[in-house]
Structure 1
Amino acid sequence: MDISKIKAVVFDCDGVMFDTAVANRKYYDEVLQTFGKPALNEEQFVNVHMMTIKGAIEYLFPEMDDLSSVYDRLKNIGYHKFIKYMIMEKDLKELLLKLEDNGYIRGIGTNRTNTMEKVLEDFHLEDYFEVVVTAAKVKNPKPDPEQLLLIMGKFDLQPDEILFIGDSDYDRQAAASAKVRFVAFKNSELKADFNVDSMDEIAEVLQINE
């Protein structure tokens, strides 16, 4: 594939920009505990990690027709107190600066809804991205390609001009449907154009690792 065509690099948030395993687990465990349910098992954890909050709540509370009491509880719990448990991926800022220096559009495509802005603020990343598309900004979150298509439309890009970096099957499906280049991050089981384990390796893929 011709890497020289790439004009935009788009990152998933959870599992790519940040290790959010502890934060997300603590958050959903608190929600479940409130309703007398056991903590997340491994299968549930893997699934909610990919989903929007809405998708995760519907998945975790299949027995409830009316989820309004759960959503009310979510408002009381809030996610902000769990942001401190998120760990920014090593060399993320360095890569983002290299991308800027080399003229790339830097984007985020995430199934987070209303917490991304606060995460960027807390980690001082507000000025590192030209476009941020959350699940709240589209009708259909990942695995639908709408987030990637929106970015393509905004910057008048062709599919082969975007490199999307994700860690889940939702990300892979979104990339495949949008026909964009896909980098699997720290997930060797995902079929991808490239499989990497670090931000440095992404720079190597783009040949900007001087």
Structure 2
Amino acid sequence: MIKAIIFDVDNTLIKFSEIAAPCFQKTALELKLKKRSLEEISKCFGTPAKKFVKRLWPSANVEQFRKLTYQKILAQKVKPFPGALTLVKQISKKYRLGLLSCKPNILMYPHLKQIKLSQDLFEFIHSYDDIKYPKPDPRVFDKALDKLKLPPSEILYVGDSIHDAKAAMAAKLKFVAILTGHYSKEDFQKLGLKNTNILKSLKDLPRWLEENG
């Protein structure tokens, strides 16, 4: 029986890539670095920017790159996916909730405020700044498990990327993939995820919980 649900944030609750990917691309052009496609950049979301900036642009000054990009992102307005806020409020009445993301605090809290998602709905909010081992390392959940004091089998992680899936499955948590990011149904199937655990959108989660939770 599922007793707690942890949500990823970017591209799961918040429409992030459409705002953030162009910002990373613009910073690269400003710094005269190699142009990367929006899709290539977007598929990195879910892992720490420190790591993927260095991988995509090896010669970049990572801290300078992040600072310039975050300034651009914060100048934009993010939006939640349709129904996301209502869904979270509804299921908070039955399940213990948490947020876990590789998103840094400098973006996390302004974005939660922008979309008017109350922090009071969650027992914890773990950002990149709070975790020692980022996704896809399964130890990313260590702090959450310590907080919830539940066996992994009673915790559901909801995310949009293969990084989310790899971390949750390795940590023995239940996992549901939402196809609102940049990965296909086939990408998740290759990891061994059942078709029933791959949902088109968050709107399908209540039915999944009725049948599996």
TM-score by length of 2: 0.84
The number of residue pairs the alignment matches comes to: 197
Aligned partner of 1:195 in structure 2 is 198
**1:204: which partner in 2?**
207
Go from structure 1 to structure 2 and tell me whether the alpha carbon gap of 1:160 and 1:145 turns closer, same or farther (over 3 Å shift).
same
Q: State yes or no: 1:72 paired with 2:69.
A: no
Alignment match of 2:10 (pick from 2, 14, 29): 14
Aligned to 1:33: 29
Residue identity (%)? 25
Which SS does the other structure have where 1:50 is aligned? Answer: coil
Cα distance between partner residues in 2 of 1:74 and 1:93: 28
Per the alignment, residue 124 of structure 2 pairs with 131
TM-score (normalizing by structure 1): 0.85
For structure 2, the 5+ residue unaligned runs are: none
Output one character per residue of 1:94-113: Cα deviation in whole Å (capped at 9) or x when no partner.
111111222x1111111111
1:50-199 paired onto structure 2 within 5 Å: 50-62=46-58, 64=59, 67=60, 69-77=61-69, 78=71, 79-82=73-76, 84=77, 86-102=78-94, 104-114=95-105, 115-125=107-117, 126-186=119-179, 187-189=184-186, 190-191=188-189, 192-193=193-194, 194-199=197-202
Alignment deviations for residues 31-70 of structure 1 (CA, whole Å, 9 cap, x no partner): 10111135422552243223211012111222x2xx5x44
CA distance, structure 1, for counterparts of residue 63 and residue 26 of structure 2: 13
Separation in 2, partners of 1:146, 1:120: 25
Q: What is the deviation of 1:74?
A: 3.4
Tell me which moved more, 190-199 or 166-175. Answer: 190-199
Once residues 76 and 175 of structure 1 are traced to their aligned partners in structure 2, the CA distance between those partners, rounded to angstroms, is 31
Distance of 1:23 and 1:121 partners within structure 2 = 16
Q: Report if aligned partners of 1:24, 1:49 keep a CA contact under 8 Å in 2.
A: no
Structure 1 moving runs of 4+ over 4 Å: none
5+ long unaligned stretches in structure 1: none
Letter in 1 for 2:91: L
Report the alpha carbon displacement of residue 166 of structure 1 after superposing the two structures with TM: 1.1
Q: What is the distance in 1 between the residues matched to 2:130 and 2:54? A: 20
